[in-house]
Amino acid sequence: MAVATDDRAAGGGRAGTRLAVILLGPPGSGKGTQAQRIAERFGMPHLSTGDMFRENVGRGTELGRKAKPLMERGELVPDEIVLAMVEERVSRPDCDRGFVFDGFPRTLPQAEALKLICARQSFHPTVVLHMVIERGALVRRLTGRRICKAGGHIYNVYDRPPKRDGLCDVDDSKLIHRADDTEAVIGDRLTAYDRQTRPLVDYYRAQGVLTDVDAMGAPDAITQAVFGILAEKS
Ligand code: AP5
C-alpha cells in the first residue's frame, strides 16, 4: 500500500511501518546527497557511519583513534567496531519511525547483523537503493567535494559550488575537503568497495529488496526517482 510521503513526514504512515532505507553504492555515487534529502522529506534520521567515525576522529575518542589510520588508507573499519556503534545508534528514540543508512552495511557480516537488528527492533520493510554510476564520474565528484563543517551540507567546486568561496550557503560555516578525497586514497576506497561491498548488490537483489537507481543524472532528478520508489514501498 502506498502512503503519501507528506503524511509520513508529518508523523503519519501505515501502522507498524518502520522503514529501513539503505543507500548502497561506491564512494562518490551520491549516497550522502540523497540520504540528506530522504531524511528531511520522510522525517527519519540520516545515519552515516563515515560521519560517525569522522566525528569520533575529530573528538579524539578511542573509537576515532582506531578508525583514523584505516580511513586515511581507504580501508574499512573492522565489523565489530562498526556494529557496536550502529546497534547503539538505531536504538535511540529518533529512529522510532525508521532510518536512512548511508555507508552501512558495507560487508556481508554487517548486512547479516543489520538483518538481525531490524528483526529484533521490528524495522520493516527494508528498501535498498543501489546507486548505479560510471566509474569515470567518481574521481571528479570526490576530488571536487567540499562539506560544511557544522551541518554536513555537501557541495562540489566543479558542479555545485557554494555562492561564496569556502563557505556554506545554509549556515555560513567553513567548508572542508575530506582527507580521503585525494586521488591516491580514492583508488584504494574503490578497491575496498569492489572487494567487500559490491557483493551486497547480489545479496540484496536475491532478497527482492533492491532497486537500481541511475545515479548519473542531476541530483534533483535522482531525488524525484528515489522519492517515488520510497512512496511505493512505505
Ligand atoms: P563514507 O563517509 O561512508 O564514504 P564513502 O562511502 O566513501 O562515500 P562518500 O561519502 O565518499 O560518497 P557519497 O556516495 O556519500 O557521495 P556524496 O553524496 O557525498 O566512509 C569513509 C570511510 O569510513 C570508509 O573508507 C571507511 O574507512 C569508514 N567506514 C564508513 N562506514 C563503514 C562501514 N560500514 N564499515 C567499515 N568502515 C566504514 O557526493 C559526492 C560528490 O558528488 C559531492 O561533491 C556531491 O555534491 C556530488 N554529487 C552528488 N550527486 C551528484 C550528481 N547526481 N551529479 C553530480 N554531482 C553529484
Give the domain CATH number at 117. Answer: 3.40.50.300
Indicate which residue's Cα is closest to atom 25 of ligand 1: 74
144: containing domain: 19-44+97-233
Gyration radius (Cα) of the chain, Å: 17
- The tens digit of pLDDT for each residue in 182-215 reads 999 999 999 999 999 999 999 999 999 999 999 9
60 in a structural domain? no
Distance between Cα 8 and ligand 1 center (Å)? 27
Distance of CA 42 to the CA centre of its chain: 15
pLDDT-derived band at 234 (thresholds 50, 70, 90) equals confident
Distance from C-alpha of 13 to C-alpha of 1, rounded to nearest angstrom? 10
Distance of CA 97 to the CA centre of its chain: 18
85 in a structural domain? no
Distance between Cα 226 and ligand 1 center (Å)? 17
87 in a structural domain? no
pLDDT, position 1: 28
pLDDT, position 16: 61
Distance of CA 94 to the CA centre of its chain: 17
194 in a structural domain? yes
72 in a structural domain? no
146 is catalytic: no
| Total domain count, the chain | 1
97 is catalytic: no
pLDDT, position 125: 79
138 in a structural domain? yes
Q: Which residues contact 82 (CB under 8 A, 6 or more apart)?
A: 49, 104, 106, 110
User: Inter-axis angle of helices 183-192 and 136-143, to 10 degrees?
Assistant: 130
Which cell goes with 135?
566509474
9 in a structural domain? no
188 in a structural domain? yes
Which cell goes with 56?
569520533
* Per-residue pLDDT at 10 exceeds 60: no
Q: Where does residue 34 rank: exposed (0-12), middle (13-18), buried (19+ CB within 10 A)?
A: buried
Q: How large is the average pLDDT for residues 41-62?
A: 95
Q: Give the nearest ligand 1 atom to 218 CA.
A: 53
Max distance between CA atoms of the chain, in angstroms, equals: 48
- The tens digit of pLDDT for each residue in 124-179 reads 879 999 999 999 999 999 999 999 989 999 999 999 999 999 999 999 999 999 99
